[in-house]
Amino acid sequence: MRLAVLGDPPDDCLRRVERAWPEATPVDQGPAEAVLAWTYDPEPLLDLLGAGPAPAWVQTRSVGVDPRIAALLQPARTVLTTGRGAHGAAVAEHVVVLLLTLLRRVPELLRAQSERRWLDPFELRELAGCTVGVLGLGDVGEQCARLLAAFGTRVRGLRRTARGVTDDPPEFPQLSAVYGPDRLAAFLTGLDVLVVAVPLTACTRGLVGAAELGRLAPDALLVNVGRGPVVDQDALVRALCSGRLGGAALDVLDVEPLPPDSGLWTTPNLLISPHCADRTPATDERFVAGYLDRIARYRRGEPLTGFDPVTGY
């Protein structure tokens, strides 16, 4: 059986896959019965799907799936599984680092050090006591909420399956409340920090625009680790340049890689990281462990679950 491997997984990963699935022969092109898409770039998978019959099973590295891929696979009844559960711990740590970098004005400190300037007075902000909103309570959002609550913040969350607002939800003990999509405005109002952790779907594209940013507390911070188009980047830039927002950090952008001539590079109080929040060996290990578990179940003929074509993730 041919297993198409897209991207460049570590050699150890392939060796473990070959041991777990001895009847599978890894190939890097051509038609295949199964696909491991190690790359986050959807184009190689789209090319493969357009070149031959649909595979029986596709495993992606990302959690959200390009709608073009889902549209090709759904009619063929291809099983589609994702990297759900592998990324949250690493991304949550990155969120905390970005927030503390903004609150503690680390870029200014580094500039002053490089110029041998002693900054006095130099006032900072604390994360403790902030009201934080986590938009999306999947693996990434839940892990973010857990870490941020440990800093003494008040954390509220918004999830697709919630109805209205639930105080002290037992499913998420680290949260003060969980809101449904119909309560987005109430969820955003007065937040000191907004963490965006939802995948890109038809419902989430442009979800956070000028009106939504205007509901945050003055001098609020925003971190986007979901997908770039969830946040209106033009509205975000205007809010930062006007001083309405105190700062923002983007690990995901509308266009990646970000072109050198993009105005985002020079936007005040904006941190940019190159979609690297989950690029850790531990993330790779969690992904491979999950994939090996699915291989075992696939070989036994057991059903695989993961991607929901209705929600898009």
**CA 293 to chain CA centroid, nearest Å:** 23
Residue keyed to tokens 């559960």: 85
Report the alpha-carbon distance of residue 197 to residue 91 in Å, rounded.
Answer: 9
Report the alpha-carbon distance of residue 31 to residue 83 in Å, rounded.
Answer: 23
Catalytic site residue from 256, 279, 297, 299 = 256
Catalytic site residue from 84, 227, 286, 294 = 227
Q: Where are the alpha helices (DSSP H) in 31-188?
A: 43-51, 67-73, 88-103, 106-114, 139-149, 184-188
The residue type of 289 is: A
Of 155, 205, 162, 201, nearest to 183 by C-alpha is 162
Catalytic site residue from 159, 275, 286, 294 = 275
227 a catalytic residue? yes
275 a catalytic residue? yes
Report the alpha-carbon distance of residue 278 to residue 284 in Å, rounded.
Answer: 9
In angstroms, the Cα distances linking 34 to 23, 30, 70, 300 are: 12, 11, 15, 15
CA atoms within 13 A on the CB side of 77: 1
Give me the active site residues, please. 227, 256, 275
